[in-house]
Amino acid sequence: MIVKTRSEMRALLTRRCRIVDHLNSHPAADLNIDLDESYRCMRDFVSNRKWGTYLLTTGSAALPTTAAVAGENYAAIPVPATCRIVKKLEVKMSNSWIPAEEVPFGQLRMYNTDNGAGTRGPFAWTMLDSGIQATVTANSGTATAGVIALMPIPTAGSYQLWYLAEHAALSADSGAGGFFAYGNQAMEDYHLFHCAAKILISDNDSQGMLDGILKLLAKAEQTLESGAPTASGAKTWRRARNY
């Protein structure tokens, strides 16, 4: 793991971009906002490429055993209000954790309530509301928990979600609330060069450095793409073709 304070990253950013008179053109408060935004983008990028570096788990919770709405074929599982991306839903049956398959919304009706043997499964899930509709409906100005549909409706068991939580803006230049953490050098590079590119674009690339920075960003992206974990061993449990 690599840890860099906000002041260290801000100094690297200023040097990489060759910002002239940065206290006026890009004051520290503005650079802090840019660093937080690019850190969120980096976390999204790596999490969407199978890196589990920044993922959290909800921990084990009891599966819902009733339909979300009377007559429906799915149960509702709440998504944490701080969730940015849901990466995985696991169902625990007979003391074994089994990953449920994520399916498009259009397949919501394709999973039977009973497989004919008196048991339930295999399970699939789809995002009904990432929190947007709930937040707009609540109209309170704060994020509201979303909802996942799990099909078919379980009869018993437990579940847990693996998700990427929102990055809270740093509140200090060092120490508590004042550092960024990275799983490897490529993640730090992506964060730095992504932020540098935004600043150079806003400066109209006055120093003629944008092309070089974009090449360095692309190199970090390639390293993260090629170094991402690959599928091995047991795959996600899917229906048999003759199910």
Determine the pLDDT at residue 117.
Answer: 43
Determine the pLDDT at residue 234.
Answer: 37
Determine the pLDDT at residue 20.
Answer: 59
pLDDT averaged over 10-residue windows placed end to end, the chain, 243 residues: 96 81 75 96 94 95 92 90 91 87 83 52 82 72 82 90 95 97 96 93 73 91 84 44 40
Judge if 86 and 114 occupy the same domain. yes
- Torsion on CA atoms 150, 152, 156, 157, rounded to nearest 10: -50
In a domain, 119, yes or no: yes
What is the β-pairing status of strands 101-102 and 124-129? Answer: parallel
Q: How many CB atoms lie within 10 A of CB 213?
A: 22
68: Cβ contacts below 8 Å, ≥ 6 apart: 74, 75, 76, 147, 149
Judge if 212 and 154 occupy the same domain. no
Which pTM does this prediction carry? 0.82
Determine the pLDDT at residue 50.
Answer: 86
In a domain, 79, yes or no: yes
Residues in the chain: 243
Determine the pLDDT at residue 140.
Answer: 72
In a domain, 232, yes or no: no
Judge if 48 and 60 occupy the same domain. no
Determine the pLDDT at residue 242.
Answer: 40
Determine the pLDDT at residue 145.
Answer: 76
Q: What letter represents residue 239's amino acid?
A: R
Judge if 122 and 108 occupy the same domain. yes
Q: Over the chain, what HEC string results? A: CEEEEHHHHHHHHHHHHCCCCHHHHCCHHHHHHHHHHHHHHHHHHHHCCCCCCCEEECCCEECCCCCCCCCCCCEEEEECCCEEEEEEEEEEECCEEEECEECCHHHCCCCCCCCCCCCCCCCEEEEEECCHHHHHHHCCCCCCCEEEEEECCCCCCEEEEEEEECCCCCCCCCCCCCEEEECCHHHHHHHHHHHHHHHHHHCCCCCCCHHHHHHHHHHHHHHHHHHCCCCCCCCCCCCCCCC
> In which residue are the tokens 């980096």 written?
42
Judge if 9 and 81 occupy the same domain. no
Question: Domain tally for the chain?
Answer: 2
Judge if 73 and 136 occupy the same domain. yes
| Residue 75 belongs to domain spanning | 55-165
Determine the pLDDT at residue 3.
Answer: 97
